[in-house]
Structure 1
Amino acid sequence: MRIRRIVTTREGGVSKPPFDSFNLGDHVGDDPAAVAANRRRLAAELGLSQHDLAWMEQVHGRTATIVDGTEQAPAEATDALVTDRPGIALVALVADCVPVLLGDPVAGVVAAVHAGRVGARVGVVPSAIEAMRSVGAEPHRMEALLGPAVCGACYEVPQEMVDDVEAHLPGSACRSRSGTPALDLRAGLWRQLADLGVGRIGVDPRCTVEDPTLFSHRRQQPTGRLAAITWLEE
């Protein structure tokens, strides 16, 4: 079973500023017609139909939902999608949060996870892995990609927040570029994945705040959302 992974940028769509131009989020104030056109293009570029794209109503929680392609609407109140059905493309939308794409090529199971500060803190990634295990995946066979997100040098937060997240997601605490308390969620999630026994872990080092080709909520508000997508090919 082949696992495909794609991360979009903000280029190549039809949305007008400040959502220019390939915004895929339908909850950020963009013209719904533009978002729909961008989503149609996304499906076409992936060689899939629009019905093959699985979306979720992201709420910064830890719920993981297993989907099979028969769903008629985005999965409600969930931050991780899991499937063992080839051709179902799971989509996580982000603009500073960490998208985590997981896959077990032997079992034929994939997951797309939206891991923001709150979701990462409360354990959305372990929830996704447990859901994957329920349909036959095993951590030691899994491959993980931590996608573009705000880096630790740019994610300045109060010390109390650093202490709280570090207590729940060890390895996240760091210092910003100016030496103030900060969070590196990808570092914390990397450590968590390793502790859970995930066999291979990759990191896309791009910072959404620093890279103008990516959407960043911290850099610009309002703004669009990029997508991290994974699916199985037979």
Structure 2
Amino acid sequence: MFHWRAEILPGVSAAFTDSGAGNLALHVGDDPRAVLRRREQLEAAAGIGPEGLRFMDQVHGTAVAVMERASAAPQADGMVSRGLPLAVMVADCIPVLLAGESADGPVLAAVHAGRPGVANGVIPSAVDSMRSLGASAIKAWLGPSICGNCYEVPAALRDEVAALVPATLSTTSWGTPALDLPAGARSQLERAGVDVEYAGQCTFETDSLYSYRRDRNTGRFAGLVWCHG
């Protein structure tokens, strides 16, 4: 069920699921009842309480929602909370999890960072939102995503994104234009003064992880960050 899981701060854990947890997305043609059942099983396996995970309606934008207990699922690509459990779903995009300390306790974030999100700055926006809640000593965990050796794009698109985020410039292992989104995300985090504690494997190259580029008709795995006793 868990591709990777760790306690990242005292009382705070993060994890990335694999295909063993099943598809966790409601928008890929799966039976909604089965998806909700898998989400409940994931929450139970993680020890997440009755408040449950918060999911987003991800749209490849830059909006970051600050979540309260009564908040509905936002149309956004980032969520920030004062300890509420957060989840992000992906199948090649980067699931970015962040955690920092504040006078009121942990501040958490989950970010969906695909090509548009990296190019347009959704990750720095999430860091800014965390700091607006008083977070300091923020750290980041980059989950599995397609790597710069595999993410082939047209040359014009590569140049367009690299003009905004130079670290994304890449070439595939077979010699064609590519984007290295994890390198771009890392560069943005470092520029924002955020240490990257973990970076996951390539989804395209790892059969136990969902990859849209590899399989097209596929599910979504999740990154999650939550507080516990």
TM value normalised by structure 1? 0.89
Report the equivalent of 1:29: 29
Structure 2 unaligned blocks of 5 or more = 1-9
1:2 match: 11
Indicate conservation of the 8 Å contact 1:54/1:69, yes or no: no
- Name the residue aligned to 1:74: 73
CA distance in 2, matches of 1:205, 1:40: 24
For 2:20, the equivalent position in structure 1 comes to 11
SS in 1 for 2:213: coil
Which structure has greater strand proportion? 2
> What are the ranges of 5 or more consecutive residues in structure 1 without an aligned counterpart?
13-21
Once residues 78 and 145 of structure 2 are traced to their aligned partners in structure 1, the CA distance between those partners, rounded to angstroms, is 17
Residue in 2 that maps onto 1:223: 218
1:205 Cα deviation after fit: 3.4
Q: How far, CA to CA, are the matches of 2:191 and 2:47 in structure 1?
A: 36
Root-mean-square deviation (Å): 1.4
Identity %: 43
Aligned length: 218
Q: Equivalent residue for 1:16?
A: none
The CA deviation string for residues 156-175 of structure 1, in whole angstroms up to 9 with x for no partner, is 10111111111112200111
**Normalised by the size of structure 2, how large is the TM-score?**
0.91
Give every structure 1 segment of 4 or more consecutive aligned residues whose post-TM-superposition deviation is greater than 3 Å.
none
Residue by residue over 1:56-110, the C-alpha shift from the partner in whole angstroms, topping out at 9 and shown as x without a partner, is 1000000100112222x311x200010013xx21000000000111111355111
Partner of 2:131: 133
- How far did 1:2 drift? 2.8
- Correspondence for 2:45: 45
Matches within 5 A, 1:85-96: 85=83, 88-96=84-92
8 Å Cα contact 2:91/2:203 also seen in 1? yes
Q: Offset of 1:212 from its aligned partner? A: 0.6
Q: Does 1:100 align with 2:82?
A: no
